[in-house]
Amino acid sequence: MNINTWLSIVAVGLPLIGVLAIWRWWDKFRYVQRWLVAAIFGLSGLTVLILFLLNRQYECILLTGRQNCLAGGLATLSLILLNVILARGSVILQGGTKKNDYILMLLLSSAWAGMGLAENLLVLLIFLNLFFYVIHKWLERNGLRWRFMIVRDDYSDEQNPYRDGQK
């Protein structure tokens, strides 16, 4: 395996290792948890920046034809930006926050890296599923619910006066 593959694995795996560390040793990291999460985001962002510079994606973003790497370049740039935003957010969060906030932030970074750096369709689908799970949990924590299919019970015994036009 070449260095690009190893850097992609580190960019995806480092937040997952952080999730496992926070989940397992939450009480021991109580005082340094914000800085631990920020350091994980910083290392992951630095890894992706090295990958961006090593692949020379800054050169081929503006090219046309088969040499264009616009999708890969924008994926790595957006991952760098996401890691910076999440690192800032983890430092700003107060010490009384729940561990699930940090876990969701780390899972979001890992899912974004997995989707952007995936070279395999199966890996892309796995991390896309993880991304939707994180978004679902975040919406659920904020009190928003989303349902795609709602099955109504139109055959219930109780009469609805508004449906029959009586009122």
pLDDT bracket for residue 43 (50, 70, 90): very high
Structure tokens of 101? 């906030």
| pLDDT beyond 70 at 166 | no
Decide: helix, strand or coil at residue 159. Answer: coil
Q: What is the DSSP letter of 158?
A: S
Q: Is the predicted pLDDT of residue 69 greater than 80, yes or no?
A: no
Least confident of 109-113, 136-140, 160-164: 160-164
Whole-angstrom distance, CA of residue 37 vs CA of residue 21: 10
Per DSSP, helices labelled H in the chain are: 3-24, 33-54, 57-60, 70-92, 99-117, 121-141, 161-164
CB 78 within 8 A of CB 117: no
- Of these ranges, 4-8, 9-13, 98-102, the one predicted with the greatest mean pLDDT is 9-13
- Non-local (6+) Cβ contacts of 115 within 8 A are 75, 124, 127, 128, 131
Q: Pick the range with the lowest mean pLDDT from 28-32, 88-92, 153-157.
A: 153-157
Instruction: Provide the sign of the torsion angle of the four alpha carbons 59, 63, 125, 83, taken in this order.
Output: positive
